[in-house]
Structure 1
Amino acid sequence: MAEGHSKLDGPDLVQGIAFADLPDGGKVVGHCGNEQVLLVRRGTEVFAIGATCTHYGGPLVDGLVVKDTVRCPWHHACFDLREGEALRAPAFNPLACWSVEQRDDRIFVGEKRKRTAPKQRVGGPSQVPEKIVIVGGGAAGFAAAEKLRREHYHGNIVMLSNDEAPPVDRPNLSKDYLAGKAPEDWIPLRGESFYSKNNIDLRLHANVTSIDTRSREVVLADGVRTPYDRLLLATGAEPVRLAIPGANQPHVHTLRSLADCKAIIERAMTARRAIVLGASFIGLEVAAALRSRDIEVHVVAPEKRPMERILGPQMGDFIRALHEENGVVFHLENTASSIDGRNAKLSSGGTLTADFVVAGIGVRPRTGLAEKAGLSLDRGVIVNAFLETSAPGIFAAGDIARWPDPHSGENIRVEHWVVAERQGRTAALNMLGHREKFIAVPFFWSQHYDVPINYVGYAGQWDEIAVDGDIIAKDCLLRFTREGRTLAVASIFRDIESLEAEVEMERQMT
């Protein structure tokens, strides 16, 4: 997330710049009063918008202009140049906009424009549901509720979450917040007043036990039955639990919720050594965060290389070397067979001693409700292109949803934060009766110390990895191809090329 600017960059746009200094498609950062402003030219039109992404403060001048939008270089949020509207997650807040005047071959930025409510879609549905129930308080559930209100939906929204906290920015829990570099006020996706102000009935500690599809009611553990006209299942995933002796001890942690993260932070305050089980993205982000707290970290994982299954052998070797350079000790091709107090016995016969353990051995989709309701399942909840399940009026989004991905040509299920948010938005539209297919290209990012890894697309299997640049030098783009077709792209400090790859994948689907 961005902090306040200590100094203002670029020209004073109130005084104006020469029209010739802004080529077609070009971008210039300047300032208007004490705010940074981005000028973007499209043909003869010039737009003035806030210069930083409202998600984490990415510099939009380094982003990509596509038609009348600009995409953030960091995490691929997208904004409308005309109104500043946040069109794609992970951004939800709009950008500020300024008036622009052209005279005497110069461009002048005037007053900040007053924000107006987003326009209602033309040709909306004739029948709007009176009551929408969302089961889940994560990325997809939040994005759906937010989108419903943004679309001027005035019916009832009930959001049932079994968490103790309102929806949070989960990626930060394994990154800056766990590392002690982010304040807690960064963590909520919205303040608590957002839900009351927007008349969203958010119920925490709400455990849904079943869905009565005949009466169209959701049944809670306390017996309360909540009726719905449309239902969104956004139950997410839960950590895979260790099934070894000693796994239920209080110093053995998983990381999924804000409460989980706080428990690890509290343990880390007095710890000197930790064991991380699993060399996944979450496991290694936890390792990096704990190293930022000067805790000795040992990573135990069954793989030969970290993350080879997703990123291939060369990137796997690089990630291992990066963590080793930062003091992480790996015990690969190994698992923990038991935990006895501070001692963890390994399958290789060795023993590690640590003050606490974090298990990051994967997650599994929470499909119990869907299965009990008789919905079609296949390693997740099967949905169509509109994210509707086999039961009319019931939709699914996020980690549980297996959808027909037009780019890969496969039915896929991914556990990516941005995908969940984008699916939540699409599900919201379709619950209102719009027929909008979910065609977004999957995207995720991972952070390891000062190295960001961006991944666009989906490659369950590939037959070649083409490397452009130098992985070791942290300047590279990898293309995962099958039969000559690019399915996914991973990159380090190749932001524009990552965005261009996303746009190209989108074009292939149209």
Structure 2
Amino acid sequence: MASHANVDVGPDLTEGVTLANFGDTPMLRGHVGKKAVLLVRVGDEILAVGANCTHYSGPLEKGIVVGDTVRCPLHHACFSLRTGEALGAPAFDPLPCWQVEREGDRIVVRERFASEPQRAGSAMGQPQDIVIIGGGAAGFACAEMLRRRGYQGRLTMLSQDADAPYDRPNLSKDYLAGKAPDEWMPLKSEGFYGESNIDLQLGTEVSGIDVSARVVTVTGDRTFPFDRLLIATGAEPVRLSIPGADQPNVFTMRSFADSRAIVERAKSAKSAVVLGSSFIGLETAAALRARGLDVQAVSLDVRPLEKVLGPELGDFIRELHENHGVRFHMGTSLASIGADAVTLSSGAELPADLVIIGVGVRPNTALAEAAGIATDHGILVDDYLETAAPGIFAAGDVARWRDGQIGQTHRVEHWVVAERQGQIAAENMLGAGKPFRDVPFFWSAHYDVTVRYVGHAEGWDRLEVDGDIAARDCLVSYKKGGKLVAVAAIGRDAQALEYHAHLYSNPKN
């Protein structure tokens, strides 16, 4: 993983500091031996935790403090300052904690101490069998949280994927670009599932859910009883009936296997065409340019990402890619695909040893529909992520829930949303009764520019730009009916994080 750690930054905290060292900020980065440590002022207390996020080593001193938590500026992971626990994905591993002592006016950091995460109630009231369908973000986060909260019953994950849960956002970013090795990709080590007594069954296709008998059936007629069930079947890429779409040079980007196959093909390819101007499609284009391929993007849209980010940012993203050699063909599509070229609907022909179809995904609702569980362009869930069938929950790309911020139901295909829904579903399976109130968040990397987006705007009637988009220093606000519903930030990480924290604590504002 990329590291922002620098253990030599700041003072030696074993020698002590004073409040004056903090200046006008609540955080002070220092070190204890070779370990980077963050001191944080919470009221009259001073707390000490590891200085780098356990997700991708983001520098926490550049994040924000909310109550007795600290939040990472890169991907908005949230940690307890008292226990170090990773309270909000995408981080799962806790921060180390240190003892802090006062010696007169000096604040001295002593030894590390071990802390335990919060546990659920007595094992006597826990369900005996929990089954999770899906090995993606939501499924993994649910299983990890169940064990973290002390669940001791049988826990089974049924995943169609051939790979153990992995870091999907990286598939179209550093991994595809050749900057991230295979060992970066798993969310946990190979031994985690055995050590945690999680029965992870890979390459397993679920054929049915019997709601009344409380049984999941997989291909081969094996059955798994459940007291609680999570449906986290995610979404699948939309596949178009274009002549030649079954050619061996045509790929979609969804799984680890997809990304590995594209990497292998790219080793001998010279030219690539990406159909679609979505975030995944454009990230893929950037990664293939990093590998030296000639890349052209084809899309029916007028400009890239306009429907999500608006025309100003859409034009900026297009120019950014063009400056890196990507050529765009907007307002058109593919008429046919050949072994080494594609033909556009306009009749133009483009060379293409490699073709990526990136025109969106659709939720995998078939299992739920066959089981009689209510769906509407996703599996319908209540505030606690439970379906109308008691004890059966849904989370991630397949779930449609009511967003407290905008007061309507929607389904959001964001990695962090899926992970946090999995975590909340796990706690609610154990009786926590926690409503899901998190605010959607995602990030998208294009060369040396990262866009961070908070909120959810399916439409807006006013767009405001604070700063300079061309200078890569801006906060774009999306408003509807006078209400701020989302922001997109470039070079304004802390502002995006503050907006996220504000909406999380005030979902109706």
> Taking structure 1 as the reference length, what is the TM-score of the superposition?
0.98
Question: Once the two structures are superposed, what CA deviation does each residue of 1:257-288 show, in whole Å capped at 9, x if it has no partner?
Answer: 11111000001112111111111000000001
Residue 412 of structure 1 is matched in structure 2 by 410
Q: Deviations over 1:465-500 (max 9, x none)?
A: 111001111100011001111001110010111011
The answer to whether the 8 Å contact 2:5/2:59 transfers is: no
The DSSP-based 3-state class of the residue aligned with 1:14 is coil
Q: Is the 8 A contact 1:53 1:91 kept in 2?
A: yes
Deviation at 1:117, TM superposition (A): 2.6
Q: Quick check: 1:61 aligned with 2:61?
A: yes
Deviations 1:120-175 (A, max 9, x none): 24x67973210000000000000000000000000000000000000000000000
Displacement after TM superposition at 1:418 (Å) = 0.2
Separation in 1, partners of 2:160, 2:507: 37
Amino acid at match of 2:296: H
Q: Secondary structure at 1:468's aligned position in 2?
A: strand
Contact 2:381–2:393 (Cα < 8 Å) also in 1: yes
Paired position in structure 1 for 2:219:
221
Cα separation, 1, equivalents of 2:327 and 2:61: 39
**Is the CA contact (8 Å cut-off) linking 1:234 and 1:400 kept in structure 2?**
yes
Matches within 5 A, 1:247-326: 247-326=245-324
C-alpha contact (below 8 Å) 1:25/1:40 kept by paired residues:
no
Query: Which position in structure 1 is the counterpart of 2:474?
Result: 476
Residues 313-343 of structure 1 deviation map (CA, whole Å, 9 limit, x = unaligned): 1010000000001110001111001112212
Secondary structure at the aligned position of 1:371 is classed as helix
1:461 partnered with 2:459: yes
**Equivalences for residues 79-478 of structure 1 within 5 A:** 79-113=79-113, 115-121=114-120, 127-478=125-476
Work out the number of aligned pairs and report it. Answer: 508
Which string of whole-angstrom CA distances, capped at 9 and with x for unpartnered residues, describes residues 70-126 of structure 1?
10001110011111110000010000111111112011111122x2331324x6797
Contact preservation (8 Å) 1:175, 1:286:
yes
User: Which is worse superposed, 35-44 or 21-30?
Assistant: 21-30
Task: Give the whole-Å Cα distance in 2 for the aligned partners of 1:24 and 1:320.
Answer: 40
**Equivalence for 1:70:** 70
Amino acid at match of 2:404: P
Distance 1:423 1:407, change over 3 A: same
CA contact 1:25–1:43 (8 Å) conserved in 2: no
State the 1:4 CA deviation.
7.6
- Residues 166 and 188 in structure 1, CA contact (< 8 A), matched pair in contact too: yes
Counterpart AA for 1:428: A
SS of aligned partner of 2:453:
strand
Residues 183/147 of structure 1: CA separation in 2 closer, same or farther (3 Å cut): same
SS of 2:240's equivalent?
A: coil
Q: Distance in 2 between matches of 1:155 and 1:103?
A: 47
Deviation at 1:178, TM superposition (A): 0.5
Report the CA distance between 1:508 and its aligned residue. 2.6
User: Any idea what SS the aligned residue of 1:238 has?
Assistant: strand
Please give the alpha-carbon distance, in whole angstroms, between the structure 1 residues aligned to 2:404 and 2:505. Answer: 11
Q: What amino acid is the match of 1:303?
A: D
Percent pairwise identity:
56
Instruction: For 2:68 and 2:24, locate their aligned partners in 1 and report how far apart those are by CA, in whole Å.
Output: 12
The 3-state SS of whatever aligns with 2:424 is: helix
Q: Are the equivalent residues in 1 in contact too, given 2:27–2:41 (CA < 8 A)?
A: yes
**Distance in 2 (alpha carbons) for counterparts of 1:504 and 1:66:** 9
Alpha-carbon displacement from aligned partner over 1:193-218 (angstroms, at most 9, x marks no partner): 10000000000011001111121111
Q: Secondary structure at the match of 1:192?
A: coil
Amino acid at match of 2:116: A
- CA shift, 1:25, in A, is 5.4
Q: Secondary structure at the match of 1:17?
A: coil
Cα distance, 1:376 vs structure 2: 0.7
- Distance in 2 (CA, whole Å) between partners of 1:94 and 1:76 is 14
* Distance of 2:397 and 2:479 partners within structure 1: 25
- SS of the residue corresponding to residue 416 of structure 2 reads helix
Name the SS for the 2:117 alignment partner. Answer: coil
CA drift at 1:506: 2.3
Q: Deviations over 1:171-193 (max 9, x none)?
A: 00000011011111110001121
Contact 1:23 1:41 in 2 (8 A): no
What is the identity, as a one-letter code, of the residue corresponding to 1:186?
W
CA distance in 1: counterparts of 2:7 and 2:505, whole angstroms:
39
User: How far apart, CA to CA, are the structure 2 residues paired with 1:330 and 1:413?
Assistant: 29
**1:368-394 CA distance string (max 9 Å, x none):** 101111111111110000111121111
Q: Residues of 1 paired with 2:72 and 2:6: CA distance? A: 22
State the AA in 1 paired with 2:70.
V
Of 403-412 and 500-509, the range deviating more from structure 2: 500-509
The whole-number CA distance in structure 1 between the counterparts of 2:127 and 2:7 is 50
Asked whether the 8 Å contact 1:124–1:434 carries over to 2, the reply is no
User: Given the superposition, is the C-alpha separation of residues 507 and 4 from structure 1 closer, same or farther in structure 2, using an over 3 Å criterion?
Assistant: closer
Partner Cα distance (2:251, 2:46) in 1: 52
- TM-fit CA distance, 1:346: 0.3
Aligned-partner Cα distance in 1 for 2:4–2:32: 15
User: Offset at 1:19?
Assistant: 2.6
Structure 1 distance, partners of 2:98, 2:65, is 18
SS of residue in 1 equivalent to 2:125: coil
Q: Structure 2 stretches of 5 or more lacking a match?
A: none
| Alpha-carbon offset, residue 3 of structure 1 | 3.2
* 320-329 or 13-22, larger mean C-alpha shift: 13-22
Q: SS of 1:111's equivalent?
A: strand
Other structure's SS at 1:102 match: strand
**For residues 14 and 435 of structure 1, what CA distance do their matches in structure 2 show?**
42
